[in-house]
Amino acid sequence: MAEIGRFNSLIVLRSTPQGLYLDGGEHGDILLPKRYVPADLEEGTAMAVFVMRDSEDRLVATTETPIAMVGEVSALKVVSVHPTVGAFLDWGLAKDLLLPFREQSGRVREGDWVVVKICLDPKSDRIIASTRWNRVLDAGTHDFRRGQAVSIMMVDASPLGWNVLIHQKHLGLLYADEVPADVRPGTRLKGYIKQVRSDGKLDITLKPDRGARVVSFRNRILMALEEQDGFLALNDQSSPEAIRAAFGISKKVFKQTLGSLYKERVIRMEDDGIHLVRD
């Protein structure tokens, strides 16, 4: 059965002057309007389409891709505000997305960027937006660790910096001294876990944790030494190409990691390479 608000692979049933009718399963036949019909598409062919309702509540399909689909959180721009219905948002499709007044945590204006969850209205079965996106937050435990790379989306400014959404499920804080000048709600960045607080809340940084990175490379080098009977024919004088071929890291990081291992007396470095110090 076709899922409303998602991409579906549907079979072409027949061609008409209005477009193609696709098999929507229990939803019945779904029209793909003529303007979206690819050339030379035959009956019985499966095609990927996004399914939604039109202004007359009929299910229709499109080959256009929305900025976000049902269940996802994204930032969308307000293109107009209707005095009795709500705001309309640009979500990448020809028909703008409704943000009803009842789903607004605060009034929005034309030109605003708002962070919303895309959802199905249980009453009308239409796709709508809601600013009450915190319903999607995972309140349970997580396994994030310091230094871990994460995908973040800027949400809104706070007295300490910006609140960010991590992997669409968890809330974190990016402190003001690291916030880029040109961000807005919805800006997506690569970040790193700076700290997991005792209450489980997450602090984010845009800079990789060098300490955590060295620990990761340290373990890789030790594992390689164990696998090679305690010897690697590499040292701090090896070429950058040889180091990258062996570990996929720069010579600078390799030397930093060796220095840490040497200080711990875990390895000794000689002209022929690295030797693991056995107890």
Say if 103 falls within a structural domain: yes
The CATH code of the domain that includes 161 is 2.40.50.140
Task: Please report the pLDDT score of residue 35 as a whole number.
Answer: 92
Say if 251 falls within a structural domain: yes
The DSSP bridge partners found for residue 111 are none
* Same domain, residue pair 228 and 263: yes
Say if 143 falls within a structural domain: no
* Same domain, residue pair 92 and 126: yes
pLDDT 10s per residue in the chain (279 long)? 789 999 999 999 999 999 999 999 999 999 999 999 988 788 899 999 999 999 888 999 999 999 999 999 999 999 999 999 999 999 999 999 999 999 998 899 999 999 999 999 988 899 999 998 887 677 666 888 888 889 999 999 999 999 999 988 899 999 999 999 989 999 999 999 988 887 778 999 998 766 556 666 788 888 888 888 889 999 888 898 988 888 888 888 888 888 888 888 888 988 899 998 876
C-beta of residue 16 within 8 angstroms of C-beta of residue 32? no
pTM of model > 0.85? no
Compute the half-sphere exposure of residue 11: CA atoms within 13 Å on the CB side of its CA: 7
In which domain, by residue range, is 225 found? 211-276
| Measured distance CA(164)–CA(193) in Å, rounded | 12
Task: Please report the pLDDT score of residue 199 as a whole number.
Answer: 75
| Measured distance CA(225)–CA(222) in Å, rounded | 5
- Encoded amino acid at 237, one letter: Q
The count of structural domains within the chain is 4
| Measured distance CA(217)–CA(261) in Å, rounded | 11
Alpha carbon distances (Å) from 52 to 9, 61, 69, 101, 252 = 14, 6, 10, 21, 53
Say if 139 falls within a structural domain: no
Task: Please report the pLDDT score of residue 139 as a whole number.
Answer: 62
Task: Please report the pLDDT score of residue 118 as a whole number.
Answer: 96
Say if 100 falls within a structural domain: yes
C-beta of residue 54 within 8 angstroms of C-beta of residue 61? no
* Same domain, residue pair 78 and 23: no
Task: Please report the pLDDT score of residue 215 as a whole number.
Answer: 62
Question: What letters, b where the CB count within 10 A reaches 16 and e where it falls short, cover 180-199?
Answer: eeeeebbbebebbbbebeee
Over the stretch 116-172, which tens digit does the pLDDT of each residue have?
999 999 888 999 999 988 876 776 668 888 888 899 999 999 999 999 999 888 999
